[in-house]
Chain A
Amino acid sequence: MRSPQGVRRSQRPPLLLVPPALIGVAFLVLPTVALLVRAPWSHLVSIYSHADSADGIDVAAAVRLSVLASLVTTGVAAVLGVPLAWLLARVRFPGRGLLRGAVTMPLVLPPVVGGLALLLAFGRRGLVGTWLYDTFGWSLSFTPTAVVLAQTFVAMPFLVVTLEGAFRSADVGLEEAAATLGARRTRVFTHVTLPLAVPSLISGMVLCWARALGEFGATMLFAGNVMDYTQTAPTGVLTAFQSSPEDAVALSLPMMLIAIVVLVALRERWLRGVAS
């Protein structure tokens, strides 16, 4: 609880802090304002509804692929990331710290480097890619699948890290109670552990999805930027920027809208974080 004195004290900041704080706010907010002010509001609909092959940009297709691929990414990340987070949180094994480091690596790795690494692993001549191509005839790089892989590589760690914390701090007592009632380990996980981690699962998925949606660097290198095929909203912004800046702004608007939605969705969680 905050004491009345605490409130009063926090309301009177040292004057030295005020100017830099204001400059900081202006710096963070102005670009967003500029984007909104300069958006081609009058012919936005026509931009979204027709492809401009000459410029190599199809706004609608790029946004569609971005949304679709990021949703698939979130699904894949959940399917793989939930078990991974549980193992990291609950199972003691040699090299766990190292594994945790490896899993969170994409969080700090420049995405471009990630894309290059994906290419060297899953590209047609890559470490695993050669075998995949020779055995199944699969060529993953520079396909829509590669878009999903690139996004999963950079975004899944957000989900894993969020859920690992939840699994680690989960009430083991409830799992014990479930065991004494005859629930086997899988049932304990599906009926007790996971349902109780749903709030963290949701915020992990939202973070993952947001990160996937904004993915640029790894996508450029591993999936390329081919109109109507592997071009996403972020890579499309680069193409459009070179030919018709208006399209670039039009492409940016949906992503901004999504950013706002994510902020609102996560607000609850932030408040809780501050309170605890």
Chain B
Amino acid sequence: MIDVDCRASNGSFVLEAALRVEPGEVTALLGPNGAGKSTLLRSIAGLQRIDAGHVAIGGVVVDDASTFVPAEERRVGVVFQDHRLFPHLRVLDNVAFGLRSRGVGRAEAHRIAREWLDRLGLADLARRRPAALSGGQGQRVALARALAAGPRALLLDEPLAALDIQTRAEVQGELRTHLREVEQPTVLVTHDPIEALLLADRVVVLESGRVAQEGSTADITRRPATPYVARMVGMNLFAGTASDGVVSLDGGGSLTVADAPTGRVLAAVRPSALTLHATEPHDTSARNRWAGRIAALAPLGDRIRVTVAGPPDTLVDVTAAAIADLGVAPGSEVWVSAKATEISAYPAPGLSTG
């Protein structure tokens, strides 16, 4: 198990975060660049000391006020974004490196390394040098190298970010399979929400050095806690104050919702649950409607994503046919409607929502 509750810094940047990952569980550490994902990862790996709090791996404290177990004694496997394979060693020796470092004999280390290469479908590459590997192969070898060393926890630092789109999809699928089999607690750092949803059981969202939200992937997508998370999962998110089923939005306007707690709330609605009208709709059962102006149109799969300037500002997904029927273009006045039951309102976490 990974158990972290720490303050760590990187220059003037300060990270304050807590994280628990159970054996066999994959937790995605999701956040924009500069959120502190790598600082947290390095703190767990023992590549940097924390300023306060503790880091424990498998129930053993490896970093706190009185302890610091350096990386080489932590047995925490790391897969780096740029794979960091040793360029002067063959793939087999790269994978055997961790075992050799722990005093395992050459023959035995090679045997175990070969087993790992077989398991990850890399047996053919054993004799190659890292320079002769593709990006995807390099990343898989890096995973084999980390696992072969027998780590107590596994950390992956944006393992797919350096790959081209096609390779990424391919490695993503394989990684999903392999991570399912990993018995160790695993942390996956990423800034790609889809990667987090595909590969992880739980998601911890980091923003500006703080945990902005954590939960199952389903929680995160249904009830985003910050505008960043909402944008990431493609939801419209409004902050406001609710009473008697009506949320007065901070940015102006109000929404009627089916059932809302009272007080500070967040209201989330999927762009595809909103309807666009050329004129004020009177024949709709939707209890929310407001006027806006089309700010932008962008293709999104077989839909068109329409940015409507409110208040409130919203994203609305409609079909191309609907745009044609409505006869609208950027700058057009439109009406937006939403059913009360499509909007989920939930208490705002004690965090700024921007």
Residues of A in contact with B (beta carbons under 8 Å apart)? 171, 173-174, 176-185, 187-188, 191-192, 195-196
Contacts and interface: CB of A to CB of B under 8 A. Distances in A.
B86 A180 contact: no
Contact of B71 (A173, A180, A191, A196): A180
A188 B101 CA distance: 9
Nearest to A173: B84
Interface string B88-104: 10000000011001100
Nearest to B93: A191
B68 interface: no
Contacts of A173: 80, 82, 84
B86 A182 contact: no
Interface size class of B (residues with CB under 8 A): 20 to 34
A178 B97 contact: yes
Contacts of A182: 72-73, 75, 98, 101-102, 149
Interface in B8-32: none
With most chain B CB atoms within 10 A of its CB, the pick from A173, A182, A188 is A182
Nearest to B155: A180
Contacts of A174: 84, 86-87
Contacts of A176: 47, 71, 84
A177 B80 contact: yes
Contact of A178 (B70, B87, B101): B101
B77 interface: yes
B80 A184 contact: no
A177 B102 CA distance: 15
B191 interface: no
Given A174-B84, A178-B101, A192-B86, A184 B78 contact: no
9 contacts: A177-B84, A177-B85, A178-B86, A180-B77, A181-B97, A182-B98, A183-B98, A184-B72, A187-B101
Interface string B47-61: 100000000000000
Given A173-B82, A174-B86, A176-B71, A181 B47 contact: no
B45 interface: yes
Contacts of A177: 78, 80, 84-86
* Residues of A contacting B: mostly: helix
Contacts of A180: 45-47, 71-72, 74, 76-78, 146
Nearest to B97: A181
Contacts of B74: 180
Contact of A183 (B76, B84, B88, B101): B101
A252 to B, nearest CB: 40
Contacts of B339: none
B80 A183 contact: no
Contacts of A188: 72
A196 to B, nearest CB: 6
A179 B88 contact: no
Contact of A181 (B82, B87, B101): B101
Contacts of B72: 179-185, 188
Contacts of A178: 86, 97, 101
Interface string B144-155: 011001000000
Contacts of B82: 173
B80 A181 contact: no
Contacts of B75: 182
A258 B77 CA distance: 49
Interface in B127-148: 145-146
Nearest to B78: A180
A173 B45 CA distance: 13
Contacts of A195: 88
A184 to B, nearest CB: 5
Contacts of B45: 180
B88 A181 contact: no
A192 B87 CA distance: 9
A195 B146 CA distance: 21
B47 A179 contact: yes
Given A173-B82, A182-B75, 15 more contacts: A173-B84, A178-B86, A179-B70, A179-B71, A180-B45, A180-B71, A180-B77, A180-B78, A181-B72, A181-B97, A181-B149, A183-B101, A184-B72, A184-B101, A188-B72
